[in-house]
A = this chain, B = another copy of it.
């Protein structure tokens, strides 16, 4: 068994847990914040048989890979809205930091 610790964005954590559970991995979510000023991340802890570590990392990469997301600028709250044309902006979202640790002993009670 290995212990996979993954720090992911809050917004990706729901889908990641869903995908892991669907593949029969049992993930525990730890409330967490931070990492270079980024708010709102989640740390997942997953006990994984050695031969499935690759599969779990693959799922994390698929769901959480850092990617561009296009938002439309909101209409400014005050003033000359009549001349304002909303335009798309690209923001990087996602990303994950993954630590795989050896387990000395594993028990289910």
- Whether a CB of chain B sits under 8 angstroms from the CB of A35 is yes
User: Which residue on chain B has the smallest CB distance to residue A60?
Assistant: B109
B57:A36 contact, CB within 8 angstroms: no
From residue A25, how far is it (CB to closest CB) to chain B in Å? 9
Contact with A100, one of B94, B97, B98, B106 (Cβ below 8 angstroms): B106
A103:B100 contact, CB within 8 angstroms: yes
Contact with A41, one of B1, B28, B66, B102 (Cβ below 8 angstroms): B28
**A102 and B100 in contact, given A28-B43, A34-B27 (Cβ under 8 angstroms):** no
Interface residues of A (CB under 8 A from B): 1-3, 5, 7, 17, 21, 26-37, 41, 43, 45, 47, 53, 57, 60-61, 64-66, 94-109
